[in-house]
Structure 1
Amino acid sequence: MNARILPAALAIALLLPACKHEQDTEAAAKADTKLDAPDLPEGPYADRDPALAKQLVDAGALLLDVRTPEEFASGHVEGAININHADVPARLDEIRELVGGDVHKPVVVYCKSGRRAGIVKDQLVDAGFDRVTNLGGLNDWPD
């Protein structure tokens, strides 16, 4: 009797870790698509919505100031990362690193008036980022 049970028990023991690994992989894939906060809307996002932009940043979105370094030095939103709009195509890998490799993480872009931010938003969307909003200009940031 033990001779018949042993092979069956061994087969089950060998299959269980494979099932667990498959479950862990599925859970990790689902977690990768979740936002930082469950109450945030999924993308794509509307533009020029300061309340949405602030909500996203408060929940951990990347805040990207796409003005020149000189403009950035003259004043910017606290916590913003400065990447000149002209440099964005060459720095997409850096932006991916800033969002931890998660192109589903929200990104808020702004400049002086919103024109350059709109260009950058299009570039980010073309690169696979699907939760990007153009705040508009620096003065559009809610206090």
Structure 2
Amino acid sequence: MTIVDLDRDAVKRGLADGSVLLVDVREPHEFAQGHIPGSVSHPLSTFDLDALRALIAADGRRPVLSCAAGVRSARALHYAQSQGVPLTEHYAGGFKDWITAGEATE
């Protein structure tokens, strides 16, 4: 399994230049309480690889998974890779790192 840990700066650059599709795997209530601007919700508890494949194909940007602190996004990467989906990148610090740094949220 391959996991590439991205830091906040890499995620910010990707969001700013439009190259990153940030997929938040936290639960819907967590996402509703606050999320990184531009991220999309795809909860781990109902992780649907077919829906994720369709989202990625339709969007065209490089998918990066995110969660609260990097644990669930790494778990989602492992699962996706075990099912033949070539996802490798996640935001290792997650939403907690983002908000602690004082970054804007929605």
Q: TM-score, normalised by structure 1?
A: 0.56
Question: For residue 63 of structure 1, what is the aligned residue in structure 2?
Answer: 22
Residue in structure 1 matched with residue 96 of structure 2 by the alignment: 139
Residue type matched to 1:123 in 2? Answer: Y
Q: Which has the higher helix share?
A: 1
Q: 1:114 aligns with which of 53, 70, 81?
A: 70
Q: Which has the larger radius of gyration?
A: 1
Higher strand proportion = 2
Instruction: Look up the match of 1:81.
Output: 40
What is the letter of the counterpart of residue 139 of structure 1?
Answer: K
The RMSD of aligned alpha carbons is 2.6
Q: 1:128 to 1:69 in 2, by over 3 A?
A: same
Aligned-pair identity in percent equals 30
Structure-2 change in CA distance of 1:131 and 1:85 (3 Å) = closer
Partner of 2:12: 54
Counterpart residue identity of residue 53, structure 1: V
**Structure 2 regions of 5+ residues with no counterpart?**
none
Structure 1 residue aligned with 2:52: 95
Q: Which amino acid aligns with 1:94?
A: A
Higher relative contact order (CA 8 A, sep 6+): 2
* Contact map agreement 2:77 2:87 (CA 8 A) in 1: no
1:53 and 1:128 mapped to 2: Cα distance? Answer: 24
- Offset from partner CA, 1:82-138 (integer Å, 9 cap, x none): 1211211xx111111111169x95211111111111101112222334343120320
Q: Which runs of 5+ in 1 are unaligned?
A: 1-43
